[in-house]
Amino acid sequence: MDQTSTNRSVVKRSPNHVATDMAGETVVLDMKSGMYYGMDAVAGLIWNLIAEPKTLQEIQAGVLAEYETDAESCERDVRAFVSALESAGLVEVTNANPG
């Protein structure tokens, strides 16, 4: 995610992935690279939230509704995780137009 990303930036899954829940862990297979990614409960929640495109703000609200954490930590952690997903090619982040 670049520095211009805001809470209104939209996150959507990239195509060509298969995901499943395995004993409380979400496992995602990137069909293009053949790489598997294991996700804990919080990461799995985020992955499920972005089954349909969501803004960073919507993702953060979903995490805050499920887990006891402060908004600042949640925002920082969600941004870091989404950035990691983007670097791995699992999601695309588009910046919303201001206004």
Query: Distance between CA atoms of 42 and 52, rounded to whole angstroms?
Result: 17
CATH classification code of 10-88: 1.10.10
Q: Where are the domains of the chain?
A: 10-88
In this prediction the pTM is 0.88
Cα atoms in the 13 Å half-sphere on the side-chain side of 39: 21
| pLDDT per residue as tens digits for the range 19-72 | 998 888 999 999 988 999 999 999 999 999 999 999 999 999 999 999 999 999
